[in-house]
Amino acid sequence: MKTIADLKRRLSVGTVVTLVKSNYPHPAMCKPRVITEATTRAIRFSPLEEGALGSWLEFPKRSELQEISNTHFIVLLHGTRLHYVIGEAQ
């Protein structure tokens, strides 16, 4: 994968994504989450706890992506570096 379009195609509903590194503490760290909804601008993750709403991750601009591959992507948002690993679709 080399483009945002490739990343959007890879991050479809049912795909498991795990946040493995961040320069700030994050409640979703190392917890596999399933993509439950995908739009042209963002993806929604499954909730961390029962009864909660899932969180959204807006697709970054190309300048905010530090790296993209078939297995991971790194986003720099407002000074926070987020390293996600992409698993297989369920």
pLDDT digits (tens, 9 = 90+) for 19-72: 999 988 888 888 899 999 999 999 999 988 887 888 898 888 888 888 788 888
| 51 contact partners, CB below 8 Å, separation of at least 6 | none
Is this prediction's pTM over 0.75? yes
As given in the structure block, the two tokens for residue 54 are 């899932």
What is the Cα–Cα distance from 61 to 70, expressed in whole angstroms? 18
Q: Domain map of the chain by residue range?
A: 4-89
